[in-house]
Structure 1
Amino acid sequence: MAIHLRQLGLEDMDDAARVHRRSFDHALPELAGLHTPEEDRAYFRGSVFEGCEIWGAFDERLVGFVAFGNGWIEQLYVLPDWHGQGIGRTLLDVAKAKWPRLTLWTFQQNGPARLFYERNGFVPVEETGGLGNEAKAPDVRYEWHRDGLTEPSLRSRLL
């Protein structure tokens, strides 16, 4: 089945919250349960929708999405059954086409996400001990520059 992209509206936020929760819990089961489904839906309807441009990938339903704004990738999730089919790269390319520089955070323990971002031109630039995120899990900040001038050095700042 062909995948199509479109910008998401407020009516899509409950589906985006479901994709987020299923994908997050699959990738990081040790961090599952930080929020209830109701909290996820409220967060997506409020913070994410109000502060980001959001694009989704659909077959007959939403299978992945990217939320970005002000040079930041705030959310990028693809349902586990759809991994490895180029959907994440396609969604990432939407943001890359709109911003000359992008920054994002991911958890250090999320090896598949880190590999994905590095394969798509992102460079790790900072690691923290996790004190700045609600999960209190060590994380890493990545940067991408359209001109390719990202320094490939990692500065550690353990909080």
Structure 2
Amino acid sequence: MRFVRGSLFTGQQVTVATLQGTVAGFAAVDGDWLTQLYLDPAWTGRGIGTRLLRHVTTGMTHVKLFCFGANAGARRLYERHGFVAEAFGNGSANEEGLPPDILYARPGHFGPACPAG
């Protein structure tokens, strides 16, 4: 836990979603970047990702993030909430080496008018 607090998320705003005493997911923001959005697979499909995304990006005028092409669920979530794929990488820029890595961006404000997911 010390690594996560002291290294991984240094200087980032982190939000943790807990349900029934368990960490269901978390999101981290650094400037205009959504650096992490993770959900425990046992908690997907319940709107938690949407609530985390809304919470951490409310008031941001522009948001960017990277997503693995193979993560179809995350891609659907981001695209449903106005993110647009701007660039596709070959995987050489990410730690896992998984292609494609997709740069998504969403201009504007993410407010209550966005659809629930």
Which TM-score applies when normalising by structure 2?
0.84
- Tell me the distance in 2 between the aligned counterparts of 1:49 and 1:147: 24
CA displacement at 1:120 relative to structure 2: 1.4
Q: Is the 8 A contact 1:48 1:67 kept in 2?
A: no
CA displacement at 1:127 relative to structure 2: 0.1
Task: Please list the CA deviations of residues 46-77 of structure 1 after superposition, one character each: whole Å capped at 9, or x if unmatched.
Answer: 23331210011112121111000110011101
Count of aligned pairs: 108
Flag the structure with larger Rg: 1
Question: What's the counterpart of residue 128 of structure 1?
Answer: 89
Which TM-score applies when normalising by structure 1?
0.63
Question: What's the counterpart of residue 52 of structure 1?
Answer: 12
Task: Please list the CA deviations of residues 7-36 of structure 1 after superposition, one character each: whole Å capped at 9, or x if unmatched.
Answer: xxxxxxx3xxxxxxxxxxxxxxxxxxxxxx
Q: Runs of 4+ in structure 1 displaced over 6 angstroms?
A: none
Question: What's the counterpart of residue 144 of structure 1?
Answer: 106
- Tell me the distance in 2 between the aligned counterparts of 1:55 and 1:48: 14
Does 1:64 find its partner at 2:25? yes
- Tell me the distance in 1 between the aligned counterparts of 2:30 and 2:74: 20
- Tell me the distance in 2 between the aligned counterparts of 1:137 and 1:106: 10
Per chain length, whose mean CA-contact separation is higher, i.e. which structure has more relative contact order (CA < 8 Å, sep 6+)? 2
Structure 2 unaligned runs (5+)?
111-117
Higher relative strand content = 2
Alignment equivalent of 2:61, drawn from 83, 100, 113: 100
RMSD (Å) for aligned C-alpha atoms: 1.7
Structure 1 unaligned runs (5+)?
1-13, 15-40, 149-159
CA displacement at 1:112 relative to structure 2: 1.4
Q: Among all aligned residue pairs of Structure 1 and Structure 2, give the percentage whose two residues are the same amino acid.
A: 36
